[in-house]
Chain A
């Protein structure tokens, strides 16, 4: 191929060596920074699974096993059939046998259908496997075994009618299951919002406004505004604006049209307000209590206020509640079990004291 005279070759060699030494100099500039990762370190963290199943560990799990895991670790938040919208958006529902055939979820086009479940949207089974493996259960991520992840994925797919009840999902058949995903053809790359090249197909923006300056055609009338009854839904807006400035917040605790003077009455906070007994939010959040218990309304478990009402007056309420928090239980408030909590006796007592005091905010 190369038939140039010798001096040319020497020059090329020199150039090549210059390029190499420049690269070396660059690396040397950061000498002493960073080290090579060990294979074990990479294995510990490199858990991602791609749509082509690169990264998927070998293994298998059955629908039956999945049901067992589901009822123990998943149903609290997602419902027995993955249908619950109480805590998160529903996972299962809205797909049909016809969708499994076509690869398009028809109800995505049905404006009357309420909401969109995960199975209606997701095109790639790898996405389910990867996220269950890395992030579930919500309060104890990365605690499932490989078999359990396969099994839970299989169970969810069975709930959605993608695989039969006697199915065992494995690294061997997952590519075939991919071909049955109800929304597998539901993704579009026809847009210009990817900040790189070669992935999406459109270069131009999909809206084309022009910067008219005078006597422009307008959208003439007010088509949408908050109804009057929603005026105070986000709290009193007077308290959500600075007390001084060109504009003040509207006092939404009063009907619209009230004299604007009311906004000048927003008092600066007194120290007394700040000093009121407060919820031990740090403890509640740190121990994921708030994942299942709301302040006033029932979530997965009873509201803190409900617990306070039920036990607040008892003489040994503090000891009882501290014990219950640490031991967990089932049956008092319903059939969804509360797992034993791994917080210290002192922390459990702090929470129990607050509950006994009526769970003030």
Chain B
């Protein structure tokens, strides 16, 4: 059991002379005598005693001797009986994964109900965010709503905008033809703390209001067709939540007409999580998360936008000159390297796989370039798997670290030809006080000691 609790992975490289010749002879003699415990202790003591100022550990050292005790001494799990089925009716991650958690950014909000938790992007693979690690943003706390009592209403700002106002139960919504699609969701304020300067240490806090799931639901178009909406007059849609804040946002009818706006109940093969709007939320691909109204109770069609609280007080971009950009909703093309990233340590020189995420609210990612010299020279990365519209795309690129300081950046290009901007370009266009829609190129500084820091260049 106890060996099970020790972290696997890297060991500190021991100096050549960590055991003197006599010591080595004694260890071998004891080994012949079959005293394995003595061998293990001898190696551990020698390792702990090595005081040489090595900052770097090697990946997989083989100490002098017969080999790695993790191989030579069979662990409990190779020699005993394991756990039965259904110890957990709903399985959990390994207990060794306990560091992989959603987290609040200290001091960002005063209350925990009107707040944010950030997804641990530095620990995720591929493009799908495990539902339990999906970032959270609540305006008035989350609820676990009884789906048998949840209703969706469709109505109009004026009677002539549709044939009839309608009500649907969850049973009915789940009877309708469904679609399943992968999309990213990003808060409009993601990376918002970094507009003026570096404010947070890791990619979790700088970019973690970003998640990606397979959503299942009904195209909103089907419901509006059933209600007989007059699409000539009704050019806007209001979505409203059932929670305390009953949050509202205006959506353009064009996005409903082309079938991409979904009334969704499914997320990654199961129902939505309560924190993400169970049992029903709006999916508005490519648009900032605040429009993906959770606990969705009502859709109203109208001929004008609504200027709701989250489009007239918040989620507006303050421009130089003092005007606010209103109804700014699209999340433009953006990318970030997730490993190596801020707050991590490279354990040795040599080969690394630089890995990250790219996305665009306007369509597909066409290409991602990576620089390790602060943007002077770039190489195009490999895009993994299916590259989908308005969805995260995973990119990877080989890198051999020579142990010298490096400035790692990624730059995404989407299928409109738009190239992700530098901080300089973004600030020239929008100043530094916008809070929202920061899609600048991120820089990670790899220091000589291997530690990675969040930095901004100028």
Using a CB–CB distance below 8 Å, which chain A residues touch chain B?
A: 26-27, 30, 33-37, 41-42, 45-48, 50-52, 54-55, 86-88, 104-106, 108-109, 111, 116, 118, 121-124, 126-127, 130-131, 134-135, 138, 141-142, 186-200, 205-216, 218-226, 230-231, 233-235, 237, 239-250, 252, 256-257, 259-261, 263-270, 285, 288, 290-291, 299
> What are some 22 contacts across the A-B interface (CB < 8 A)?
A37-B155, A45-B240, A48-B306, A87-B111, A127-B313, A135-B247, A138-B244, A186-B323, A186-B324, A187-B323, A190-B325, A195-B252, A208-B419, A211-B419, A222-B457, A246-B340, A247-B339, A250-B343, A261-B12, A264-B9, A285-B112, A291-B111
Given contacts A196-B253, A219-B458, A240-B202, contact A249 B312 (CB under 8 A): no
CA distance in complex: A261, B5 (Å): 17
List the 5 shortest-distance A-B pairs measured between CB atoms, nearest first.
Answer: A196-B252, A223-B458, A219-B457, A237-B343, A109-B322
CA distance in complex: A104, B319 (Å): 13
Determine whether B456 belongs to the interface, using a CB cutoff of 8 Å to chain A. yes
Find out whether the CB atom of A122 lies under 8 angstroms from the CB atom of B312: yes
Find out whether the CB atom of A226 lies under 8 angstroms from the CB atom of B198: yes
- Contacts A34-B172, A37-B153, A54-B302 supplied; 18 other A-B pairs, CB < 8 Å: A34-B223, A37-B166, A48-B238, A122-B312, A186-B323, A191-B328, A198-B235, A211-B367, A213-B378, A215-B376, A218-B373, A220-B374, A222-B456, A223-B456, A226-B453, A230-B201, A241-B343, A243-B9
CB distance from B160 to the nearest CB of A (A): 13
> Which of A47, A105, A211, A247 is B411 in contact with, Cβ under 8 Å?
A211
Find out whether the CB atom of A209 lies under 8 angstroms from the CB atom of B346: no
Determine whether B127 belongs to the interface, using a CB cutoff of 8 Å to chain A. no
Residues in A neighbouring B450, C-beta threshold 8 A? 260
Using a CB–CB distance below 8 Å, which chain B residues touch chain A?
A: 5, 7-12, 53-57, 95-101, 103, 105-106, 110-114, 120, 122-123, 139-141, 153-155, 157-158, 164-168, 172, 175-176, 197-202, 204-205, 222-223, 225-226, 235-236, 238, 240, 244-248, 252-255, 284, 286-287, 297-298, 300, 302, 304-309, 312-313, 316-319, 321-330, 332, 339-341, 343-347, 352-353, 361, 367, 369, 373-379, 407, 411, 413, 418-426, 429-430, 433, 437, 445, 447, 449-458
Which residue of the partner chain A has the closest CB to B248? A48
Which residue of the partner chain B has the closest CB to A52? B304
> Which of B110, B284, B425, B445 is A88 in contact with, Cβ under 8 Å?
B110
Residues in A neighbouring B252, C-beta threshold 8 A? 194-197, 199
Find out whether the CB atom of B344 lies under 8 angstroms from the CB atom of A134: no
Residues in A neighbouring B103, C-beta threshold 8 A? 234-235, 240
CA distance in complex: A194, B123 (Å): 33
Given contacts A194-B252, A226-B454, contact A239 B99 (CB under 8 A): yes
CA distance in complex: A138, B138 (Å): 13
Is chain B's interface secondary structure helix, strand, loop, or mixed overall?
loop
Find out whether the CB atom of B202 lies under 8 angstroms from the CB atom of A234: yes
Given contacts A48-B238, A51-B307, A260-B56, contact A121 B378 (CB under 8 A): no
CA distance in complex: A198, B303 (Å): 12
CA distance in complex: A178, B147 (Å): 41
CB distance from B120 to the nearest CB of A (A): 7
Given contacts A240-B99, A266-B7, A270-B5, contact A34 B425 (CB under 8 A): no
CB distance from B315 to the nearest CB of A (A): 11
CB distance from A77 to the nearest CB of B (A): 9
CB distance from A341 to the nearest CB of B (A): 16
CB distance from A209 to the nearest CB of B (A): 4
Given contacts A211-B369, A213-B378, A219-B375, contact A193 B322 (CB under 8 A): no
CA distance in complex: A118, B313 (Å): 6
Residues in A neighbouring B200, C-beta threshold 8 A? 226, 234
Find out whether the CB atom of B201 lies under 8 angstroms from the CB atom of A216: no
Residues in A neighbouring B339, C-beta threshold 8 A? 245-247
CA distance in complex: A227, B332 (Å): 30
Find out whether the CB atom of A211 lies under 8 angstroms from the CB atom of B140: no
Find out whether the CB atom of A248 lies under 8 angstroms from the CB atom of B374: no
Which residue of the partner chain B has the closest CB to A292? B111
> Which of B99, B172, B324, B378 is A266 in contact with, Cβ under 8 Å?
B99
Find out whether the CB atom of B458 lies under 8 angstroms from the CB atom of A200: no
Given contacts A195-B252, A209-B419, contact A260 B347 (CB under 8 A): yes
CA distance in complex: A266, B239 (Å): 46
Find out whether the CB atom of A34 lies under 8 angstroms from the CB atom of B106: no
Find out whether the CB atom of A268 lies under 8 angstroms from the CB atom of B5: yes
Find out whether the CB atom of B327 lies under 8 angstroms from the CB atom of A199: yes
Find out whether the CB atom of A290 lies under 8 angstroms from the CB atom of B111: yes
> Which of B198, B238, B421 is A225 in contact with, Cβ under 8 Å?
B198
Find out whether the CB atom of A195 lies under 8 angstroms from the CB atom of B287: yes
CA distance in complex: A41, B164 (Å): 13
Residues in A neighbouring B329, C-beta threshold 8 A? 193-195
Given contacts A30-B226, A193-B332, contact A269 B55 (CB under 8 A): no
Given contacts A186-B323, A197-B254, A268-B98, contact A212 B378 (CB under 8 A): yes
Which residue of the partner chain A has the closest CB to B171? A33
Which residue of the partner chain A has the closest CB to B112? A290
Find out whether the CB atom of B304 lies under 8 angstroms from the CB atom of A226: no
CA distance in complex: A27, B106 (Å): 52
> Which of A55, A266, A299 is B157 in contact with, Cβ under 8 Å?
A55
Which residue of the partner chain A has the closest CB to B114? A88
Find out whether the CB atom of B411 lies under 8 angstroms from the CB atom of A268: no
Residues in A neighbouring B9, C-beta threshold 8 A? 243-245, 248, 264
CA distance in complex: A36, B344 (Å): 57
CA distance in complex: A288, B172 (Å): 33
Find out whether the CB atom of A209 lies under 8 angstroms from the CB atom of B422: yes
Which residue of the partner chain A has the closest CB to B440? A207
CA distance in complex: A297, B390 (Å): 42
Find out whether the CB atom of B323 lies under 8 angstroms from the CB atom of A188: yes
Find out whether the CB atom of B322 lies under 8 angstroms from the CB atom of A263: no
Find out whether the CB atom of A247 lies under 8 angstroms from the CB atom of B346: yes
Residues in A neighbouring B158, C-beta threshold 8 A? 54
Residues in A neighbouring B56, C-beta threshold 8 A? 260
CB distance from B30 to the nearest CB of A (A): 26
Find out whether the CB atom of A250 lies under 8 angstroms from the CB atom of B345: yes
Find out whether the CB atom of B235 lies under 8 angstroms from the CB atom of A116: no
CB distance from B379 to the nearest CB of A (A): 8
